Amino acid sequence: MELEDLVAELCDELVGGVWSAGPERLQSAGRLGLPQVVSLGALDMVNVGPASAIFERFRSRRLYEHTPAMTLMRTTPQECAALGRVIADKLNASNGPTALFIPLQGVSSMATEGGPFHDPAADAALVGALRDHVDRERVELQELDLEINDPAFADAMAHRLHELCQG
């Protein structure tokens, strides 16, 4: 069993951030046929390192200095659409029961309304790509009108993982 929260490592792999987990991210549980419940945590940001070391190509983007050692960069609608397709492809290849939970009010606290990375167009691109590319016969899609850090969102994911492991 695997309760997996996608974090910015997928964004870093796609865009060129500093904390990529590599191209195999989000494939182990599916390859092994283990039940998995997946969400979209932190797909609004790429880790680009300290402000003083940001690549020139990123300097015009929406940035947020999280700590002196780490600046975060908002993903664009185009990047979010690509992330949706990558995630769908990885989950569609799963050999076991898989559920994808989408937090419609934000994939991080920074992406919620009023947050520095709130971007409805980018979020819509991510969700739209997932809706279009997830194979609903292989992957259960759950859209909740909550933000990812809402305890009710975590409870729903944990409850579904428990059900998948019991079945």
pLDDT at 5: 38
For residue 86, what are the domain limits? 2-43+75-166
Helix 77-92 to helix 120-133 angle, to the nearest 10 degrees?
30
Instruction: Give whole-number Cα distances, 93 to 47, 58, 114, 124, 161, in Å.
Output: 27, 33, 36, 24, 19
Evaluate whether residue 12 is within a structural domain.
yes
pLDDT, averaged in runs of 10, over the chain (167 residues): 47 73 81 94 90 87 92 94 94 97 96 97 98 98 97 97 94
Q: Of 109, 26, 126, which Cα lies nearest the Cα of 75?
A: 126
pLDDT at 14: 75
| pLDDT tens-digit series, residues 47-63 | 888 988 888 888 899 99
pLDDT at 93: 96
Evaluate whether residue 62 is within a structural domain.
no
pLDDT at 25: 77
Evaluate whether residue 67 is within a structural domain.
no
Number of domains in the chain: 1
CA–CA dist 153, 167 (Å, integer): 21
Evaluate whether residue 137 is within a structural domain.
yes
Evaluate whether residue 161 is within a structural domain.
yes
Amino acid, single-letter form, for residue 59: R
CATH number of the structural domain spanning residue 143: 3.40.50.12030
Report yes or no: 95 and 30 within 8 Å, Cβ to Cβ. Answer: yes
Evaluate whether residue 51 is within a structural domain.
no
Evaluate whether residue 59 is within a structural domain.
no
Evaluate whether residue 6 is within a structural domain.
yes
pLDDT at 102: 98
